[in-house]
Amino acid sequence: MVERLPVRISGIAVIINIMADKRKYADRREELIKAVAKRRRKIKLLAVEYKGGKCQICGYNKYPGALDLHHIYGDKSFGIGDKGYTRSWEKVKQELDKCILICANCHREIEAGITQPSEEIRNGKTR
């Protein structure tokens, strides 16, 4: 609970918010979970836009949630889907530059060894 306390400092009226008791994570759990989910959605949309908005193999672009980021260049500093959405946009962009944007189907085929990105895609000549 927050108590609002009006005071005067050097003749200026100021309202100070005083916390009646310390807020705990448990008190704000749902609010924080929603805030993190909202940021993750925002960063995912920015990432999809940054990488061209469509699968670099088949061109799929109907639903951003069906697009994955697949590391292909350099060492993986962090997983975009793991802790990536809690990092700064600049750090995320550096990691995105090591990835290609592909749809879920093409991603599964790459992981299974059924298909591979073309040399042009692997060399970063398309986006």
pLDDT tens track for 17-56 = 655 567 788 888 899 888 888 888 888 899 999 999 999 9
Contact 104, 69 (CB under 8 A): no
pLDDT at 79 over 80: no
Contact 27, 33 (CB under 8 A): no
Sign of the CA dihedral with 51 first, then 53, 54, and 55 last:
positive
Contact 57, 10 (CB under 8 A): no
Output the pLDDT for position 127: 47
- The pTM of this model reads 0.69
- Which residues, other chains included, contact 32 with Cβ-Cβ below 8 Å and sequence gap of 6+? 25
